[in-house]
Amino acid sequence: MTLSTQSLPQRLLDYCVPVLETERLVLRAPRLADVKAIARLANDRRVAENTARIPYPYHVDDAEQFLAGANRQVGEATFVILREGELIGMCGVEPREGTAEIGYWIGVPHWNRGYATEAVRALIDHAFGDIEHDALQAGARVSNPVSRRVLEKCGFQWTGVGLYRIRAINSSAPLDRFRLDRGLWASLKAWGRVREMA
């Protein structure tokens, strides 16, 4: 199912990706200047195998192709995650089949510092507050308990397991599926509102 632009509020049609600031991170739209940093961090099997769409190996050309298609559809927001000006990962929300799906990854040198949770919370606030999605879905490989924990800390509820194609392994693998709706998000907003910078 695709979104009809006739049924969307005008503010979504005029939408552009803002800059979001959390306590330690800045999330902004990716730029061509980010391509080498994205390729360097994503070209790690441990990152690629835990995402559905990142191929391995991952080259500068892959990053360029990804950026060429990023932030092109209504209801989509793709961000690079920066810590003190250094790119440490990416996250985003994309409309899919009548709902929206989030995805995220953090480069291996920046693992186990809480950055994924902080970035995902900012992404969720933006998806519900600014883009006005009604529900979000997400997935985590069953072999990736850390990603599952990120989703649980952000209020996502487990909905089941499915088999999904993972580009990096050129095969399918089981993913735990999660969902978060607007009502639950509103009750969990104790983590604080993200400041929109631009």
Q: Where are the alpha helices (DSSP H) in the chain?
A: 10-13, 35-42, 45-48, 60-69, 115-129, 145-153, 182-187
115 part of a folded domain: yes
Residue 100 lies in a domain: yes
CATH number at 152 reads 3.40.630.30
In a domain, 5, yes or no: no
- Spatial separation of the C-alpha atoms in residues 78 and 151, rounded to whole Å: 18
**pLDDT for the residue numbered 195:** 67
Contact 156, 148 (CB under 8 A): no
pTM above 0.85, yes or no: yes
Report the b/e string of 38-69 with b at 16+ CB within 10 A.
bbebbbbeebbbbbeebebebeeebbeebbee
pLDDT digits over 7-24, tens only?
Answer: 434 344 345 899 999 999
And the tokens for 145?
């308990």
| pLDDT beneath 70, residues of the chain | 1-15, 190-196, 198
Q: Assess if residue 146 is contained within a domain.
A: yes
- Convert 24-57 into a string of H (helix), E (strand) and C (coil): CCEEECCCHHHHHHHHHHHCCHHHHCCCCCCCCC
Say if 4 falls within a structural domain. Answer: no
* Ramachandran assignment for 119, one of left (phi > 0), alpha (psi -120 to 50 degrees), beta (any other): alpha
- The label of the residue with tokens 């790119």 reads 87
Q: Which domain holds residue 80?
A: 16-196
Question: CB–CB of 124/101 below 8 Å?
Answer: no
For residue 9, being part of any structural domain is answered with: no
- Crossing angle, helix 60-69 and helix 35-42, to 10 degrees? 120
- 23 in a structural domain: yes
How many domains does the chain fold into?
1
**Residue 188: how many CB atoms within 10 A of its CB?**
14
Cα-trace Rg, the chain: 16
User: DSSP state, 122?
Assistant: H
Residue 81 belongs to some domain of the structure: yes
